[in-house]
Amino acid sequence: MIAINRRDILISGAFLWLFAVVGTTLVALTEFTTADAIIENERQVLLRNLYALLPADRLDNDIASDTLELPAASLLGTESISTAYRARMQGKPVAVIFNSVAPDGYNGKIHLLVGVNIDASLAGVRVIKHAETPGLGDGIEIRKSPWIRSFDGKSLDNPETDGWRVKRDGGEFDQLTGATITPRAIIAAVRNTLLYYRQNADMIFE
Amino acid sequence: MTSNSEITRNGLWGNNVALVQLLGLCPLLAVTSTVVNGIGLGIATLITLVLSNTIVSLIRGFVRKEVRLPVFVLIIASLVTIIELAMKALFYDLYLVLGIFIPLIVTNCAIIGRAEGFASRNPVGPAAVDGLMMGLGFLVVLALLGGLREIIGFGTLFANAELMFGEGAQALTITLNPDYSGFLLAVLPPGAFFGLAILIVAKNWIDLRPAEKPETVTPVAEGA
């Protein structure tokens, strides 16, 4: 039977507190030292994703900073504020890139970057986050298959409304071998983004 | 006191974290779909093990028995957070690929296991070596399983090497057969279990083999 007296408890508590302080201080120091590098890294990844949709020769502004905060919108699939990135050339609007969400992926939400040119045609689409099945639904990643390129240049008139489905449903878009739900979700989300753009075009570049 | 060579043999083989102690299996199974991912997490775990064992051994004289486990957890959690921040700053793409499994190193039972089971009872030197060898043993299994699953699942080796070794390392990627359509099972979780089972069987088979050889009697030459 070990007798634990008040003094022992206080000393133990003090030790725990001491280690907590030292640990937290070291973590805070590291955070401070690495903060700038991390922000720069995140910016680089963002720029890489944005330039994948809009080659650098189409714009001359700092697209990563020319942002617009959009409120939650069901057409964008977003439940909270999302950021849109605006591209300009010599001051004139060229395109806008939306952060859209396809809520009905096979395995949850799929996060997209949708680039819309000023003439309402698609500059392109890229998937930035998803949980679809490897080998089946993950063909939506550009690394795995060129499928996502099938959106380049499309618009709400090209194809017409009925064309905005997978071929199996009578539309014009290929599905992926063994995966139909995933392409369906993305086609719907991209079309919705185009609809959002049509409804809000004047607000975006005001 | 255990000798360094005993510690080494234990950590790499006899008491290997993944193949014998069967600890840290969650990250092991999840990140070993490619060699590069496995090695990346293995190095992070190795660094954590060495540092945590060293620190625990250093403070073993003054940490109060009653709070030693919370103190160990504090140390390990601080270390892993620091390592995670360092990875975010220096190896951002690899950090994105490994994702949640970097902070999950804190929950790797091998680390607190060695802290409580070895580092808190041994001097700094042996504790550090133990951390290094246990970490190396884990890293080797991560790399082996990653290689196995990558070759069978994708037909490549060292894909995405540039995530860890820089742009020039893209040349390191070996594609064994460009037309290989891949074997999905190896990439998914069941494949990880099968792969680990194969490695454990292989190790046990190697361990048991010499005992089966019959004792041969070597004739001794007579005379001078």
| Closest to A41 (Cα-Cα) out of B68, B216, B90, B221 | B90
* Tens of pLDDT, residues B89-147: 999 988 888 888 899 899 899 999 999 999 999 999 999 999 999 999 999 999 999 99
Distance CA A133, CA A139 (A): 9
State whether residue B75 sits within 8 Å of chain A by CB.
Answer: yes
Report the chain B residue with the minimal C-alpha distance to residue A29: B82
Report the chain B residue with the minimal C-alpha distance to residue A17: B71
Residues 6 or more apart in contact with residue A146 via CB below 8 angstroms: none
Higher pLDDT, B147 or B64: B147
The answer to whether A140 touches A125, Cβ cutoff 8 Å, is no
* Tens of pLDDT, residues B180-209: 777 888 888 899 999 999 999 999 999 998
Contact (CB<8Å) B88/A38: yes
Q: What number is the ipTM of this complex? A: 0.77
Distance CA A161, CA B218 (A): 88
Shortest distance between the Cα of A133 and any Cα of chain B, in A, equals: 9
Shortest distance between the Cα of B178 and any Cα of chain A, in A, equals: 14
B88 closest CB neighbour out of A4, A11, A41: A41
Is pTM beyond 0.80? Reply is: no
Distance CA A17, CA A11 (A): 10
Task: Please tell me the least confidently modeled range out of B38-42, B55-59, B209-213.
Answer: B209-213
- Where does residue A159 rank: exposed (0-12), middle (13-18), buried (19+ CB within 10 A)? middle
CA dihedral of A42, A40, A146, B156, whole degrees rounded to 10: -90
Contact (CB<8Å) B67/A16: yes
Distance CA A73, CA A92 (A): 26
Amino acid in position A128: I
A34 closest CB neighbour out of B88, B96, B187: B88
Both structure tokens of A170: 């009578």
State whether residue B189 sits within 8 Å of chain A by CB.
Answer: no
Helix %, strand %, coil % of chain A (to 5): 45, 25, 35
Those of residues 133-162 in B touching chain A at CB distance below 8 A are none
Low-confidence spans in chain A with pLDDT less than 50: none
Task: Please tell me the least confidently modeled range out of B30-39, B55-64, B167-176.
Answer: B167-176
Both structure tokens of A183: 């392409």
Contact (CB<8Å) A27/B78: yes
